[in-house]
């Protein structure tokens, strides 16, 4: 389902809300598009004097330019560092200082790019000069002013986040501060400064080691993506590769921002105690000056067809992990919902078919779960199965057990009760997120941005009823196949040379529930 992804299954929000009828819901929604292409979706909820805002930018780490992985994340990191009028004591002087910083880093690059003639001592010297220039620029900057203004006016739930597909900015304000949001957000998008860029670049580079190298699970899933995708940027970590991060430049960030933070590539949702007529007037006043621009380029790195199974052995401390990913189509495919149903049939709670067989009945694993969409859905991606073998059970036993289950699942008769339960669980998770204004603002902006119509979050629920047992078998048979499979498993440090590759069982020609 559009709002349910492998990385977001824990975002269950507040208590379950009553079922929403689309026609009734539409009566409380106002939407409009400014002449420059910026689209707004407004939902009135007058139960509390607050408004939740969500700005969705249809650009994430998959859009990072080659050699500049981590750029989308860097834009997010400096987003609330202020503008040309907020966060500076003297913008004219600060701009000169920031330009001097760029010139200093130009000299660093020029010296480092001399190849065999590079003088490492000279590189160190000009790099020190660049850092001194950055320190000097701090005299005029007040990077905490932007967030201080928000906090002093009652902002809560302030979140900025980057995924592989998108970047989002959200927070909630008292309803009598709605115009403050229009001022602050429009200035942030119209006049970004990227203050403290190189400080944040160093911080992002410092995060690489603990997040991707020292955390076994993060590294585990990074290895899965890097093995499954040879060309497509889904293989790149959101933080970026460490060598790229260290060379990111503020001027390149400005180019990325100008390319992707265009009005037509941004969707904004507002939910709460608001007046749509007044809000539209403020949108025109504050966001109208944003110039219309061409749509940003699409990612053109098409992943080559996988022609056989791939296996990666990763040395890592801690419990043994096994992940198997199968190539699947994007979220725009007609079968997208079928994958979500398969996920819930297999591993939702203790009633999931995979969990029941692997954990409760055969005791092959202590954890067994399925993820319909990984790492995200805008492009063809993976359906992933993750197992933690039980004590006394080998990786080979767990792998054989999973493959045997999947082969039988392709011919398994899904009973009406199990299918209805899976559909109901999907509906409940959506309804839980609809309960809170910030969750609703997020869903409206995401569905508008990703699908061009916020109504998708309702029509997707209706489409659940169209998923049949035959469709489940057809999708499982078509996509859960060896040619599109990537397997990653862990062994203890120093043990990889002692482990033989996990063998794959032959497919069963007949099946059925056992």
Question: What pLDDT does 502 receive?
Answer: 57
Does position 483 have pLDDT exceeding 70, yes or no?
yes
> How many other CB atoms are found less than 10 A from the CB of residue 230?
12
Q: How far apart are CA 395 and CA 393, in angstroms?
A: 7
Domains and CATH numbers, the chain: 20-287 (3.30.830.10), 310-498 (3.30.830.10)
Q: Identify the pLDDT of residue 135.
A: 87
- Lowest-confidence region among 166-180, 241-255, 355-369, 422-436: 422-436
Torsion angle of C-alpha atoms 255, 256, 258, 260, degrees rounded to 10: 160
78-96: average pLDDT: 95
Residue 461 binned pLDDT confidence (cut-offs 50, 70, 90)? confident
Report how far residue 379's alpha carbon sits from residue 232's, in angstroms, rounded to the nearest whole number: 9
* pLDDT at 501 (0 to 100): 54
Quick: pLDDT tens for 106-137: 998 888 888 888 888 888 898 899 889 888 88
Interval 405-419: pLDDT, tens: 999 999 998 888 888
Whole-number pLDDT of residue 88: 95
Does pLDDT of 380 surpass 70? yes
So what's the pLDDT on residue 167?
A: 98
pLDDT confidence bin for 2, thresholds 50/70/90: very low
Q: Cα(196)–Cα(72) distance, rounded to whole angstroms?
A: 16
| pLDDT number for residue 479 | 97
Give the three-class secondary structure for 13: coil
pLDDT band at 499 (very low <50, low <70, confident <90, very high): low
Alpha-carbon span 193 to 202, nearest angstrom: 18
DSSP 385-441: EEEEEPTT--HHHHHHHHHHHHHHHTT----HHHHHHHHHHHHHHHHHHHHSHHHHH
pLDDT at position 509, please? 47
What's the pLDDT band for 3 if we cut at 50, 70, 90?
very low
Closest to 447 in 3D by CA, of 292, 182, 269, 276 = 269
Between 24 and 80, residue with greater pLDDT: 80
Please check the confidence at residue 104 and state whether its pLDDT lies above 80. yes
Query: Other CB atoms closer than 10 Å to residue 136's CB: what's the count?
Result: 14
Is there a contact between 484 and 327 (Cβ–Cβ < 8 Å)?
yes
pLDDT band at 500 (very low <50, low <70, confident <90, very high): low
User: Which pLDDT value is given to residue 20?
Assistant: 46
User: Average pLDDT for residues 187-193, to the nearest whole number?
Assistant: 96
Say whether pLDDT at 170 is over 90.
Answer: yes
Query: Which residue shows structure tokens 């061009």?
Result: 452
- State the pTM of this model: 0.89
In the structure, what pLDDT confidence band is assigned to residue 18 with cuts at 50, 70 and 90?
A: very low
Choice among 164-168, 201-205, 409-413, 505-509 with the minimum mean pLDDT: 505-509
Average pLDDT of the segment spanning 65-78: 96
Six-digit token string for 514: 């056992």
Q: Looking at residue 274, what DSSP letter applies?
A: -
Q: What is the mean pLDDT of residues 304-317?
A: 92
Rounded to whole angstroms, the Cα distance separating 129 from 122 reads 11
Predicted local confidence at residue 118, as pLDDT: 85
Query: Span 280-289, mean pLDDT?
Result: 98
């Amino acid at each position: 389902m559009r709002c349910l992804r492998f990385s977001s299954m824990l975002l269950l929000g507040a208590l379950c809300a009553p079922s929403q009828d689309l026609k009734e819901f539409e009566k409380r929604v106002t939407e409009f598009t400014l002449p420059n292409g910026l689209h707004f979706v407004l939902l009135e909820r007058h139960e509390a004097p607050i408004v939740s805002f969500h700005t969705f930018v249809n650009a994430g780490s998959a859009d990072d330019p080659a050699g500049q992985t981590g750029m989308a994340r860097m834009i997010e990191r400096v987003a609330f560092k202020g503008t040309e009028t907020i966060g500076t004591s003297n913008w004219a002087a600060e701009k000169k200082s920031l330009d001097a910083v760029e010139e200093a880093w130009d000299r660093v690059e020029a010296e480092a790019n001399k190849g065999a003639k590079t003088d490492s001592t000279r590189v160190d010297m000009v790099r020190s000069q660049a850092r001194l220039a950055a320190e000097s620029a701090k005299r005029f900057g007040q990077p905490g002013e932007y967030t201080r203004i928000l906090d002093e006016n009652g902002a809560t739930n302030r979140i900025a986040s980057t995924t592989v597909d998108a970047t989002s900015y959200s927070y909630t304000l008292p309803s009598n501060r709605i115009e403050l949001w229009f001022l602050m957000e429009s200035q942030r998008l119209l006049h970004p400064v990227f203050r403290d860029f190189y400080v944040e670049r160093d911080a992002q580079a410092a995060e690489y080691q603990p997040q991707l190298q020292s955390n076994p699970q993060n590294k585990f899933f990074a290895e899965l993506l890097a093995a499954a995708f040879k060309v497509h940027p889904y293989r790149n970590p959101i933080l970026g590769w460490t060598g790229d991060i260290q060379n990111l430049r503020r001027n390149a960030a400005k180019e990325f921002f100008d390319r992707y933070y265009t009005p037509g590539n941004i969707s904004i949702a507002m939910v709460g105690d608001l007046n749509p007529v007044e809000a539209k007037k403020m949108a025109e006043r504050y966001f109208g000056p944003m110039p219309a621009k061409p749509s940003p380029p699409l990612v053109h790195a098409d992943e080559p067809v996988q022609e056989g199974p791939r296996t990666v052995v990763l040395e890592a401390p801690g419990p043994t992990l096994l992940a198997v990913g199968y190539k699947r189509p994007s979220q725009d495919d007609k079968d997208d919902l079928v994958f979500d149903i398969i996920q819930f049939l297999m591993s939702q709670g203790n009633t999931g078919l995979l969990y029941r067989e692997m954990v409760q009945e055969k005791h092959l694993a202590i954890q067994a779960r399925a993820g319909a969409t990984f790492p995200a859905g805008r492009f063809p991606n993976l359906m992933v199965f993750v197992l933690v073998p039980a004590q006394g059970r080998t990786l080979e036993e767990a792998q054989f057990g999973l493959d045997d289950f999947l082969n039988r699942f392709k011919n398994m008769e899904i009973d009406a009760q199990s299918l209805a339960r899976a559909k109901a669980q999907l509906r409940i998770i959506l309804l839980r997120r609809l309960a809170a204004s910030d969750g609703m603002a997020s869903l409206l902006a995401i569905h508008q941005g990703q699908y061009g119509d916020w109504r998708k979050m309702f029509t997707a629920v209706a489409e659940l009823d169209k998923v049949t047992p035959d469709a489940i078998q057809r999708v499982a048979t078509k996509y859960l196949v060896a040619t599109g499979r990537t397997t990653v498993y862990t062994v203890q440090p120093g043990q990889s040379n002692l482990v033989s590759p996990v063998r794959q069982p032959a497919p069963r020609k007949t099946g059925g529930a056992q």
